[in-house]
Structure 1
Amino acid sequence: MKVIVIGGGAAGFFSAINIAEKNPGYQVTILEKTNKLLSKVKVSGGGRCNVTNERAKPSELVNFYPRGGKKLHQVFKKFTTSDMVNWLKSKGVETKTENDLRMFPITDSSQTIIDCFLSEANRLNVQIIQNQSMTRIEQIAYKWKITTTNSDFEADKVIIATGSSPASLNLLSDLGLELSALEPSLFTFNIKDERLNQLQGISFTNANIKITGSKLEESGPLLITHWGLSGPAILKLSAWGAYHLASVDYQFDILVNYVGNLKSEEIREQLIKYKSLNPKRKLINYPLFELPKRFWENMLIICGIDDNHSCSDLSKKQINKLVEELYQGRYKVTGKSTFKDEFVTAGGIKLAEIDLNTFECKRYPNLYIAGEVLDIDALTGGFNFQACWSAGWIISDNI
């Protein structure tokens, strides 16, 4: 039995390794279009590889997938995050859980995961052929023929795990498979605004962000960067709003509440109370609401409150301006930037084309599809990888 996996990424490698392990007599080959293997694994988690998440219940996991969602419930029942942790442990890779439930190898190095996969592929005699970009795929009788830039291959079963490669998706579209439009997901917001100047690196534990003219709203940690705003709150918005934000060409306004758990009147009341109790204090020296000192100083200056102002000098207009800036500061987003080096794309082959019990294509027996080539994408936290691991395991079980 000849099995060809097209794509040397997370889904491709995990499928190939488990197929070879469960079926020792099969000839398993990975075709990778570049000379780099597992490149996304390499950069994940800032080079530490956020391999999965501690949340193991399918009902919890599905909430982190803007595309895929509840359809993945049955998938995670068959192979969930705890199964992946146990699989890694069986291969000698120990993992750890961080406060936000993200999981990493205890080495804090993505190379640990890469070395594990390469070692297993070598042990199981999985053939890896690089620089093989697929240019054609066709079914001939009961076989599959794959044409690449360098050669022709024949297989009994084929797994497509090419990521969101437009070229591969076009080939699958030529087979008649329906796909959702590709749009970027998980990106940061580009903002040029004097209120953020010289504040790079400042973070907020729990901010609230709204996209005006839509129902999109998220809360969570927020980070000021050289190019604008990032952090989990922004990344969640970019994922859930991927198609909406693309439709407005990434030009939109946001409202930022830097003290996400407080309403405007609560902020105003606390400022007035502080003014009353501390009339001689200079507000610029005493950051309120647990805000970073440098941000607080800059925001007061923006509101016309400098180091010469005592609390008793605060006017109603200045207090109102400060409340507005802290509770719903309006910022114009003028573009997007990739989050670190992690590329995630919304869209791909529609899940209606796939039997999620096997990940086999409904129209073409013995053709399997897994990973980001499918219309599945998730928030940060190891969820995108887990979709790959679960699909790879199910494919290997079925094959």
Structure 2
Amino acid sequence: MKKIAIIGGGAAGYFVAANLGKVVGQQTVLFEQANLPLQKVRISGGGRCNVTHACFDPLDLVEFYPRGKKELLSVFYTFQPGDTMAWFDDRGVELKIEDDNRIFPVSNSSLSIIEALTKAADENKVQLNFSDGVQDISKVDGGYQITTKSGTQFFESIIITTGSTPKFWKSLKGFGLKIIEPVPSLFTFNCKDPRIEGLMGISFENAEVKINQQKLDAEGPLLITHWGFSGPAILRLSAWGALKLNDAAYKFDIEINFVNQTKDEVISLLNTKKQQDAKKNIHKYNPFDFPKRFWISILNYCQIDEQKVYADLSKKQIETIATELTQGAYKINGKSTFKDEFVTAGGVDLKEIDFQTMQAKKSPNLFLAGEVLNIDAITGGFNFQACWSEAFIISEKLKEIYQ
């Protein structure tokens, strides 16, 4: 009889299965309601799979997690990004560190990661039940009873790696576990504003975005989209402000510095242009490294005539342009989330978990990993790293129990 059930065929669930070894693997069943596993891995990083991040000191690594920082420290001392790289390298998957420290397979294909995980699970003889979602979990003498479309089975241990599926949070409440109500964590900002209308696709290499009333700020690449603003700076801000922005019903004001310079520095630059390029047309000569279309949009918004040359700029006009570029105020009205890569803040309260084993304190042999927990991170491979690390700890504990 099988003794272990893994519920959820995502990154965490598969990494548990991939690390069990044959002795324990043959005692394990993995249940996944979809007909294909590892869906988030498949589409991560535009299909390239951002496996992890090149941050190898656990003390630094935990700083990228708005929720879970304290609890993950011991987890990362057990298994961190260097261990992840070694794991995949040992299985023939070469990884590369990109300029922004994100780590991808050299193949630039998530299939490389998927094949390594599925091959390891197969080698461990884990029984895979696809299109067989778990409908109910109940605690019984000596273990747990799981009901799926195909029937009811008993297991001594279960591992919950179901992601942000509300149905399973309800089941876990039945075990006496406290659930933090989930809210979106990574999302883009909806904004309708004449300054960015028709400018989708324009990006800024290093912008600073602030939500002053919430005392939140983030830096990084910024992208104008057809619905508003996106890019790493926005996603970081959404992660750190997930709870506050949910409370604000996603209606708030942001301040954007598009040029990574102070207002005084921009004023000085424009005054220099007024002296050195006095006869140059302002609309035709963009002194910044962002696309000309945005420069023209800002000039039009500031009511700078198309025929003006730099010599014509008044002190007030220069200050207005500088304000727009370094302290531009935009009203946000709503959010947009990536349905397939949806990340939440919320889930099982971290006080309920023993992070030495990833076991529920109130329910022996009930293990949890991944997004079912109230842990989330900014973009860059950090959410996957939490999955790999938590799953590895679970697999080690299961081997200790059943091997």
Q: Which bin holds the TM-score, normalised by the shorter protein?
A: over 0.9
Letter in 2 for 1:75: V
- 1:24 deviation in Å? 4.7
Query: Once superposed, which parts of structure 1, at least 4 consecutive aligned residues long, lie more than 6 Å away?
Result: none
Counterpart in the other structure of 2:14: 13
Q: Which whole-Å CA distance do the structure 1 matches of 2:202 and 2:53 have between them?
A: 26
Answer whether contact 1:164 1:372 (CA < 8 A) is retained.
yes
1:315 is aligned to 314
Deviation at 1:36, TM superposition (A): 2.6
Q: Structure 1 residues 71-80 or 109-118, which shifts more?
A: 109-118
Query: Counterpart of 2:125?
Result: 125
What TM-score do you get using the length of structure 2 for normalisation?
A: 0.95
What corresponds to 2:341 in structure 1? 342
How much has 1:316 moved relative to structure 2? 2.5
Amino acid at match of 2:224: I
Deviations 1:296-336 (A, max 9, x none): 12211221224310111112232222122111111111111
- For 1:271 and 1:235, the matched residues in 2 are separated by 32
Q: Following the alignment from structure 1 to structure 2, what is the Cα–Cα distance between the partners of residues 25 and 386? A: 22
Structure 2 spans left out of the alignment, 5+ residues: 399-403
SS of match in other structure, 1:204: strand
Alpha-carbon contact 2:25-2:125 (below 8 Å) kept? no
Within-5 A mapping of 1:289-300: 289-300=288-299
Task: Tell me what 2:325 maps to.
Answer: 326
Counterparts in 2 of 1:340 and 1:311: CA distance versus 1, 3 Å: farther
Report the CA distance between 1:386 and its aligned residue.
0.5
Q: Identify the residue that residue 28 of structure 2 maps to in structure 1.
A: 28
Give the match for residue 271 of structure 1: 270
For residues 49-60 of structure 1, what are the structure 2 equivalents within 5 Å? 49-60=49-60
Question: Residue by residue, what CA displacement relative to the aligned partner does 1:223-243 show, whole Å, maximum 9, x if unpaired?
Answer: 111111111110000000001
Pairs within 5 Å for 1:161-310: 161-260=161-260, 262-310=261-309
Inter-partner Cα distance in structure 1 for 2:360 and 2:87: 26
CA distance in 2 between counterparts of 1:211 and 1:205 reads: 20
What secondary structure, in the 3-state scheme, does the structure 1 residue paired with 2:59 have? helix
Match for residue 401 of structure 2?
Answer: none
Q: Per-residue displacement from partner, 1:229-258 (whole Å, max 9, x unpaired)?
A: 111110000000001111111111111111
Between stretches 130-139 and 82-91, larger displacement belongs to 130-139
- Counterpart CA distance in 1 for 2:133 and 2:388 is 23
Q: Which residue of 1 aligns with 2:80?
A: 80
- Structure 1 distance, partners of 2:68, 2:167, is 22
Letter in 1 for 2:7: I
Matched AA of 1:88: F
Check whether the contact 1:46–1:340 (CA below 8 A) recurs between aligned residues: no
- Structure 1 Cα separation of the partners of residues 159 and 390 of structure 2: 11
Q: Could you tell me which amino acid in structure 2 is paired with residue 367 of structure 1? A: L
Q: Secondary structure at the match of 1:283?
A: coil
| Superposed displacement of residue 292, structure 1 | 2.2
**In the superposition, relative to structure 1, how do residues 340 and 170 fare at CA in structure 2: closer, same or farther (>3 Å)?**
closer
User: Aligned partners of 1:271 and 1:77: how far apart in 2?
Assistant: 51
Name the SS of the counterpart of 1:194 in structure 2.
coil
Q: Secondary structure at the match of 1:308?
A: coil
Runs of 5+ consecutive residues of structure 1 not aligned to the other structure = none
Alignment identity in percent? Answer: 49
Question: Which moved further from structure 2: 181-190 or 268-277?
Answer: 268-277
- Asked if the contact 2:19–2:120 (Cα under 8 Å) also holds between the matched residues in 1, the reply is no
In 2, are the aligned partners of 1:164 and 1:348 still within 8 Å (CA)? yes
